[in-house]
Amino acid sequence: MYILFYTFFHPDQHVVAVCCLFRQKLNSVETTGAGMNRSKSSADKRSQWPAVTRLTRSSSSAQPSQCQDSGLEKQRKQPDVALYQDLSQKSVRVRGQEGGLASEAKQSKASPAASQPKSAPNGPSATKSRRGLASVAQLMKLGHCKNVVVVAGAGISTASGIPDFRTPGTGLYDNLDAYNIPYPEAIFNIDYFSNDPHPFFSLAKALYPGSHKPNYIHYFIRMLHHKGLLLRMYTQNIDGLEKVCGIPDDKLVEAHGSFATASCHLCYTPYPSEDAKHAIMSGKVPTCTFCTATVKPDVVFFGEDLPQKYFLHTQDFPKADLLIIMGTSLQIEPFASLVNTVRSTVPRLLLNRHAVGQFERVPLRRGDHMELGDLENTIRRFAEMLGWNDDIEELMKSQEQEFIPTMVSTIPSRRRTGISGSEESDSETDSKCSASSGASN
């Protein structure tokens, strides 16, 4: 009560602290699985700040200058000032809702480990550390890792030809001229979309599943599942390649949504995804049959709720005995904070081009491992160490044979074909039905 009173009179200074407390409350609500979805009713609840039964997507609390490969500042264009100010005002509410996690992240940064001098061990010496790939491979071979959680980002799909966000030069944030937006995040900002959907739709044309194929990294994760070791994969990617390579729906959390379904961005009335795709691909704007607002694929924008499935993390992360983090800059909250929720003794392996998040700190947390460099090369070496390379190559070949003839076909039939067939030896065939049905949109 006192806190609410205090906040009322000091809203700016104390909103984060208050939200932190609400976040503690949220944790208890999350474990009960209380309704957190992007339904109409959930949308209606947006006005009842503070919302305690959902999490919205936001950029990390990290400043752009802290992001090694962002290079964002120098790329930013002159914003449309009026719109930018309007969005800033709107984002206050969003930041307030997210403050709990943001402040958790800040708190963790303020921990004793965080006070260590920050020096990113990005050089080759970091990869020679005993805390690298070989150590984790050894643990796996000894049978210590039977509940592996994978956390992934755009870096796992660059080998498939899909640019990530932040890699200088090739990342989308460095190549925004075509989209005519005032700042990079605007392309995934729900308020900006509401005002002008065209920049996102231009990008969506390139990202719609169907024109890219999964790569060795995706199949490595599929192999983890095949071997019965994958507890769950949490991906931020929206390209759908995890499903295309055959990782079943029940093993996958697409934390930032996907193109598989579509709905009204305002009232969340579902809309046939193929119709949405067809409209977007032909340069039209699909509109809601209920309220006439713009329809969009169910990709989670900044300021939108994460899918309900995301909250499986409350069960999975305490259960994990190995966490593999790959191809992400860990800049987007609340996703980025997930990696801090495994038990303190659980090994965490970062596979990325450079150190990110808590892996930037020296010394690393006990049990943390890091292997830096090109992800596909790293994963190939990892697979060699585990003796999985032949299996993965074979899996890729068999999947490719099913994949190629159907590339020209529709998405649902391609996915169905990709998941059934030669995978009868898969140790977890139970998930095929759900994967197929998930892809039928």
| Footprint of ligand CNA (CB under 6 A) | 69, 153-155, 157-159, 162, 164-167, 171-172, 236-239, 256, 327-329, 331-332, 352-354, 356, 374-375
**Residue (of 84, 93, 107) closest to 17 by Cα position:** 107
Q: What are the catalytic residues?
A: 256
CA 38 – CA 304 distance, rounded (Å) = 8
**Residue (of 265, 273, 234) closest to 156 by Cα position:** 234
Are the beta carbons of 185 and 59 closer than 8 angstroms?
Answer: yes
**Residue (of 249, 288, 276, 253) closest to 433 by Cα position:** 249
- For ligand CNA, the closer of residues 98 and 164 by Cβ is 164
Cα dist. 338→97, 117, 269, 331 in Å?
17, 24, 30, 12
Are the beta carbons of 160 and 212 closer than 8 angstroms?
Answer: yes
- For ligand CNA, the closer of residues 288 and 325 by Cβ is 325
- For ligand CNA, the closer of residues 87 and 355 by Cβ is 355
Crossing angle of helices 11-31 and 2-9, rounded to 10°: 140
Q: How far is the CB of 357 from ligand CNA (least distance, A)?
A: 10
Strand locations in 272-423 (E) = 295-299, 322-326, 332-333, 348-352, 368-372
Question: How much of the chain is helix, strand and coil, in % rounded to 5?
Answer: 50, 15, 35
- For ligand CNA, the closer of residues 122 and 417 by Cβ is 122
Kindly give the pairing relationship between strand 257-264 and strand 270-271.
antiparallel
Q: How far is the CB of 330 from ligand CNA (least distance, A)?
A: 6
- For ligand CNA, the closer of residues 126 and 162 by Cβ is 162
- For ligand CNA, the closer of residues 87 and 187 by Cβ is 187
Q: How many CB atoms lie within 10 A of CB 261?
A: 17
Q: How far is the CB of 64 from ligand CNA (least distance, A)?
A: 11
335 residue type, one letter: F
Q: How far is the CB of 388 from ligand CNA (least distance, A)?
A: 19
CA 140 – CA 147 distance, rounded (Å) = 10
Q: How far is the CB of 19 from ligand CNA (least distance, A)?
A: 22
Q: How far is the CB of 300 from ligand CNA (least distance, A)?
A: 8
